[in-house]
Amino acid sequence: MASKEVEINAGTLAKLVVAKQPTDTTARVNSLTFSSKGDQMIMSTDDDSIFLYDINSGNRSRNVNSKKYGCSHVKFASDGLCALHGSTKVDNTIRYLSLTDNKYIRYFQGHDKLVTGINVSPLDDMFLSVAQDKTIRLWDLKTHNCIGLMNLSATPIATFDPEGLLFAAGLDNNIIKLYDLRSFDKGPFSSFGPLENEDGVEWTAMRFSPCGKYILICTNSNQLFLVDAFSGVIKYVLQDHQNIERVPLMASFVPDSSHVMVGSSDGLIYFYDVETGLVALKTQSPNNLTCHIAEFSPRLFVAATTDAKLALWCANDDLKARMQL
């Protein structure tokens, strides 16, 4: 069911149920993302595996082992037939993998410490990477060499806007800078901050809303910062959910940008209303555990959460039936 057919509110979100809990792995999932069309999902696990799922059935369509180099921060590349992932062993190379024949197409070398994030352009073949070496690197899938490099004072976070024309960088856990891709070497065209932030709260990831109006900053606390992408003002601090173990909670927007979905250490999934900053809905997580990743499909009324186990959520009766076959 396409998101444009659904008015997303507390009532429709309440219809989301766990349609399937695949049992392909018992290892902790360290990253998960949907394809741009929303019909595929890919995830990487701590036992060095990558799993690809067909959302129309909820079934695993492929898996790849990366035992030698490990895997994290897996993302679909621009065409959906390939993926990028970070390495957790041996070196810090980013690997470009063909999902059709399980072969590596290219290696992107340059980071000398652990890669902490990968973000793929929605427009073309460029992608961003950030790492513990305190750099942001800009790459083109067609060439081995980094085409842009920023050296910073601390481990950054970064993301493209929905149109792929600019990117945002989060620096020092309190500053946001916006860069035009056509002239990023000239420095940011806009800078926000320092934003108010409590001591010990680390920014762990950032993402634009699908409408481009907001930037969501995820942290290692129970706080999510919803920032106006044009003014840099913090619209709301979303903090009704819990994060007792202070893990990096990965939250996401629903397709129409109206709500933010996040897991919580009280065993619930929280949906915040973007207009009010209030909790619109709380629903029980399938295993009553902290879902450290809560990801909504960008196009379909489908979501995925994971704690020790993956769960696929949907509201469409036909899709539920197909997943449960």
pLDDT at residue number 325: 61
Using DSSP bridges, classify how beta strands 302-306 and 310-314 pair: parallel, antiparallel or unpaired.
Answer: antiparallel
The pLDDT-based confidence of 169 (bands split at 50, 70, 90) is very high
Confidence at residue 63, expressed as pLDDT on a 0 to 100 scale:
87
At residue 73's C-alpha, the angle toward residues 227 and 247, to 5°, is 60
CATH topology of domain 1-21+209-325: Methylamine Dehydrogenase; Chain H (2.130.10)
- Residue pair 222/266 in contact (Cβ under 8 Å)? The answer is no
DSSP letter at 202 equals P
Residue 126 has pLDDT above 80, yes or no: yes
User: Is 185 strand, coil or helix?
Assistant: helix
Q: Give the mean pLDDT of 80-91.
A: 91
Q: What are the pLDDT digits (tens) for 233-279?
A: 999 999 999 999 999 999 999 999 999 999 999 999 999 999 999 99
Give yes or no for a contact between 223 and 201, defined as CB atoms under 8 angstroms apart.
Answer: yes
Q: What is the pTM of this model?
A: 0.94
* pLDDT score, position 97: 94
- Per the structure block, which two tokens stand in for 246? 């202070």
129-144 b/e with 16+ CB inside 10 Å = b?
A: bbbebebbbbbbbeee
Q: How confident is the model at residue 5 (pLDDT cuts 50, 70, 90)?
A: low
Between the CA atoms of 108, 112, 116 and 118, what dihedral angle is there, to the nearest 10 degrees?
-20
Could you tell me the pLDDT band of residue 1, with boundaries at 50, 70 and 90?
A: very low
pLDDT at residue 3 tops 50: no
The pLDDT, as a whole number, for residue 199 is 85
Query: Which residue type is seen at 259?
Result: H
Beta strand 279-284 with 268-273 is antiparallel
**The pair of three-digit structure tokens given for residue 277, joined into one six-digit string:** 């900053």
The mean pLDDT value for 88-95 works out to 92
Query: What count of other Cβ atoms lies within 10 Å of the Cβ of residue 198?
Result: 10
Return the residue matching tokens 């450290």: 292
